[in-house]
Amino acid sequence: MTLYHYTIGYHLPDIIADGALRPTARHPGSRVSVLWLSSHPRWEPSAVKTIQEHGRDVIIGLERLATRGRGVFRFEVEPAQALLSWPEYVELSAIDPEFAEHLDSSGRQGGADPAQWRACLQPVPREQWRRIEMWQPAQQSWTELV
């Protein structure tokens, strides 16, 4: 299974300098930090961001992230570490079941498939990166960085 970690360009220099993708996401009530990976072949629909616009929260996806986030990038990875499925993560992390259901249903409403989500609890070092790609909005495709 091909796995990707999606991020915005704002984070890219620090990731490259560090040489690892690190588990930093932590849901309220969770006992663990997680690095989210997805097998979605084009774009993980749950990798959206929320911004404030005219005094209200607005969810932005791939196209707006490409301009607001200094580009959108994805790391194709082949982790040697154990990965957790979404149900395994929910059980291990001990997040509130109602919050887990909210994440699941809102992801599905946005076009995501939680069966494609993988949680990694360990860093994924550069040696496990297969490629880094940048989203090209004009071409509607990913281009590998040299």
Rounded to the nearest integer, the mean pLDDT of the chain is 92
| Residue 33 confidence (pLDDT) | 93
Structural domain count, the chain: 1
Residues sharing a CB contact under 8 Å with residue 62, sequence separation 6 or more, in sequence order = 43, 72, 135
The mean pLDDT of 82-96, rounded to a whole number, is: 94
Query: Helix 86-93 crosses helix 97-109 at what angle (to 10 degrees)?
Result: 150
Sign of the C-alpha dihedral, residues 83, 128, 77, 28? positive
Query: With bands split at pLDDT 50, 70 and 90, how would you rate the model's confidence at 26?
Result: confident
Split at pLDDT 50, 70, 90, the class of 54 is confident
pTM for this model (two decimals): 0.89
In this predicted model, what pLDDT tens digit does every residue of 111-141 receive, in sequence order?
999 999 999 999 999 999 999 999 999 999 9
Whether the pLDDT of residue 60 is over 90: the answer is no
Angle at Cα 113 formed by Cα 109 and Cα 114, nearest 5°?
Answer: 105
Its domain, for residue 114, covers 3-144
